[in-house]
Chains A and B, each alone.
Chain A
Amino acid sequence: MHHRAVDRMQETKKVTVIAPAHLHTGNFDMTGDLGRLYGTVGFAVDRLLEIEVTKTNDVKSEDEAAYLFASRFVDAFDLAGAEVKVKQNIPKFVGMGYHTTLALSIGSALAKLYDLKLTTEQIGLTMQRGAITSLGVHAFKVGGFIVEGGFRVDQREKMIPPLIFHQAVPNNWLFVIAIANEPQEKIVKMRENEDHILRNLKLMPKETSDMLSRIVLVKIIPSIIENALKSFGEGLTAFNSELGKFWNEYQCGRTYCHPVVEEAIKIMLHRSTCACQTSWGPTIYGIVDGKNQAEILTNELKDYLAKNGGGEVFYTKANNVGAVIGGK
C-alpha cells in the first residue's frame, strides 16, 4: 500500500509543451515517378506554441482544434481524457504550421501523461498530421533547417517522410516574417479545399522536379554548411519562386498568393537574397544577417502593410531545439 501511494504522488498530472512554428519553403518532387512524392524543405522558427495538458476524465478545451486533436488521440488509445489549455499560440491558418504543431504537442503531452511510449512519427500518424509533408514533425523533433525525403507513393498517409538533411541555423540569421491581412479570407477558403487540391494536383514535369532537387542539393544545402547566407538565400528564392510558378493556377496566375504579397516580396529582396512565401501564404519571410538589418526590413514591411490592408510583421531567429516537453 505504501509503495502504491508513493507511485501515485509521483505520477505526472500536468504536462507543458513548448513547440516551434515552422516556415515551409517548398516541395522538390511533385512528379512521383521515382516512387516518392513531395520532399519538403523548411525551417523551425522561434515563434512558440505553448500548451498545458492535465489528466481529466473527459476531453476539454476552449480551443476548437485542440479539442478535436485531443479527442482523436484519446479515442485512438482509449484513454480517460485530458484538458488542453493553449497558453500561447502561433498564427493560425497563415502557413506557419499551427495545426500540425498543436496536434503533435497535444499527442506528446498525452503520451507522457498516460505513459505511452510513442515516437513523434507514431503520434503524427495517430493525429493524421505530417504524413504528406513531415516538415512539422521534424521541426517538432529537432528544429533547425530541414529537408525530408517524401513519402512512398505506395504508403501514402501510412508513413512519415524521413529526415534526409538537418542543420542548425546560425543565430545571427534572422527571419523577417510578414503576414498580410488582405489575402487571408481567400486563403482560409482555399485551405478548406486543400485535400481536394492535393489529391487532384497536376503532375510536375520530371524536368522541373529534377531542377528543384538540384537547387536543394547543390546550392541550398552546401551554402548553409558553409555559412554563406547570400547564396543560401538565392537558392531558397529561386526554389520557392519556381514552385510559385507551378502553383500559379491556384493563385490566380501569380507566383505569390496576392498582389500585396508580391509587392512585399519585392521589398524584401532589396534587403535579403531570400524572399519566400510559405505554403499557400500569406506568410512570407526573408533572412537577414543581424538585428540592425532585421529591424530595418521589419519597419519597411510594417509601413508597407499599414497602407495595404494591415498585417503582422516581426523577426525571430530559427529554433534549433525543437519541442520541449516538461512534466510537473
Chain B
Amino acid sequence: MKVYVKTPARLHLGLIDLNGDLGRIFGGLGVGIDHPNIILEAKKNQTFTFSGEKAELTQKLALKFLQANGIKEKVAVNVKQVIPEHVGLGSGTQLALAVATSLSRLFTVEGSIQDFAVVMDRTIQSGVGTAVFEQGGLVVDGGKNTKNSSKKAIPLICRQPFPDDWRFVVAIPNVKKGLANEAEVSAFKQLPPMPPSEVGKICRLIMMKLLPAIPEKDIKNFGEALTEIQRIVGDSFAEAQGGRYSSSLASQCIEFMLENGVYGSGQSSWGPTVYGVAKKEEAKEIQMKTQAFLNQSVGGNVFVVKGNNRGAIIKVIK
C-alpha cells in the first residue's frame, strides 16, 4: 500500500489582531491556490528511505510524527514536487501535514487534520495553512487564545469557496527570502502591539466588505478591502521588515499591479511573494506586464493561478 498526497499552496492575505487585549492574538486571512504543489508518496519500508526533494526535512517531519504516535515501523517517503520555501507560500505547513496525513493513513492513526497540526507544531502562529490543507477556499482563523499554550488548535471561523472566475496573479521577485521559523517568531515578539483602533479597522473591513463580497461575486469590493487590510497590516510590520512590505521592490510590484488592473493586491506572509486578484479574462495580460516589470530589475517568476477549493488530495493506492 502507498499513500499519495498533493497539497495546494497558500497565500496569506493578512493578520487580524496583533494586539491581543481581547484574549486572542493573530488570527489570519488566507486562501488556497492551485499551484505550486507538494506531491509525495509514502509507504512502509524495511529501512528509512527519504528520496526526492527536501529529503532531510521530510525525514525530520516523519520521525516526529512516528515518535509522537509511538510507531516503531519504518517508511519510505518520496517527495516528487515541492512548493518553494520561505517565499510566503506556506510550504512548511503543507509539507508537515502532507507527511503526517500520509503516515496516518499507512498506520491507521486516528485524528483530524487539526490534531495533526498540533502534533507537527504548526499551531504557533496561524490556522490558515491547516485550513487550506483541509479544505482549501478563502479562510479566516480566529487566532490563538492567549491563555492557551501553543499546543492547541487554532479555530477556523469562516471558510468560503473562492470564486471560480477570479484569479491571482502571483509574483515571486528574485530578492532575499522572507522570515521563517525562529526568525519569524522573534520578529513577532519584537513588534509593538497594534493599536486596538487599527485592529478594529481590519475587523470591520473583513466583516463588512471582504466577506460579503465573496458570495456577491463583487471583485471590486473584495479587492479594495484586501488592499486596505494589507496596508494596515504592512504598516504595523514596518519596523520588523523595514517598510510597509518586505522590500521596496515588493511595494513597487504591488503598486504596479494595482495600476495595471488588479482589484486588490498585497504581500503574502513575510514575502517576497506578492499577488493581485484579477478577473479570469484579465489575468493573463497583467501577468505578462508584471513579468516585464520584474525583468527590468531583479527578475522573478510571475504566474496566474486559480483558487483551490478542495484542499489536499489524499489517495491510498493498494
Contacts and interface: CB of A to CB of B under 8 A. Distances in A.
Contacts of A218: 16-17, 22, 24, 27, 142-143, 199, 203
B296 interface: no
Interface string A19-44: 00000000011000011100100000
Interface string B199-237: 111011111110110011000010001000000000000
A283 B221 CA distance: 37
A155 to B, nearest CB: 10
B24 A214 contact: no
Contact of B207 (A39, A211, A222): A39
A184 B283 CA distance: 58
A221 B27 CA distance: 12
B155 interface: yes
Interface residues of A, number: 31
A35 B221 contact: yes
B23 interface: yes
A225 B199 CA distance: 21
A231 B22 CA distance: 9
B16 A222 contact: no
A28 B208 CA distance: 9
Contact of B203 (A210, A225, A226): A210
Given A34-B205, A225-B157, A215 B142 contact: no
A16 interface: no
B208 A211 contact: no
Nearest to A216: B207
Given A211-B200, A226-B145, A164 B155 contact: no
Contacts of B206: 213, 217
Contacts of A149: 207-208, 211-212
Contacts of B208: 28-29, 34-36, 39, 149-150, 209, 213
B109 interface: no
Contact of B157 (A210, A215, A221): A221
Interface string B18-46: 00001110010000000000000000000
A209 B205 CA distance: 10
A214 to B, nearest CB: 4
Interface string A233-259: 001000000000000000000000000
Given A210-B204, A214-B17, A214-B199, A162 B22 contact: no
Nearest to B141: A222
A143 B149 CA distance: 33
A147 interface: yes
Interface in B166-222: 196-197, 199-201, 203-209, 211-212, 215-216, 221
Given A34-B205, A149-B207, A215-B22, A221 B200 contact: no
Q: Is the interface of A mostly helix, strand, loop or mixed?
A: helix
A219 B155 contact: no
Interface string A195-216: 0000000000011011101111
Most chain A CB atoms below 10 A, which of B201, B205, B206, B216 = B201
A219 B143 CA distance: 10
A77 interface: no
B142 A222 contact: yes
B145 A222 contact: yes
B57 interface: no
A308 B148 CA distance: 44
A28 B197 contact: no
Contacts of B22: 214-215, 218-219, 235
Contact of B23 (A164, A216, A219, A221): A219
Given A214-B196, A219-B22, A164 B17 contact: no
B316 interface: no
Contacts of A211: 196-197, 200
Interface string A112-147: 000000000000000000000000000000000001
A60 B199 CA distance: 53
A271 to B, nearest CB: 22
B158 interface: yes
A239 B254 CA distance: 36
Given A214-B22, A218-B143, A219-B23, A164 B196 contact: no
A304 to B, nearest CB: 32
A210 B197 contact: yes
Given A34-B209, A214-B22, A222-B27, 7 more contacts: A34-B205, A36-B212, A164-B211, A213-B206, A214-B17, A215-B22, A217-B142
Interface of A: 28-29, 34-36, 39, 147, 149-150, 161-162, 164-165, 206-207, 209-211, 213-219, 221-222, 225-226, 231, 235
24 contacts: A39-B208, A149-B211, A161-B212, A162-B216, A164-B158, A165-B157, A209-B208, A210-B201, A210-B203, A210-B204, A211-B196, A211-B200, A213-B207, A214-B200, A216-B207, A217-B157, A217-B203, A217-B206, A218-B16, A218-B27, A219-B23, A219-B24, A222-B27, A225-B142
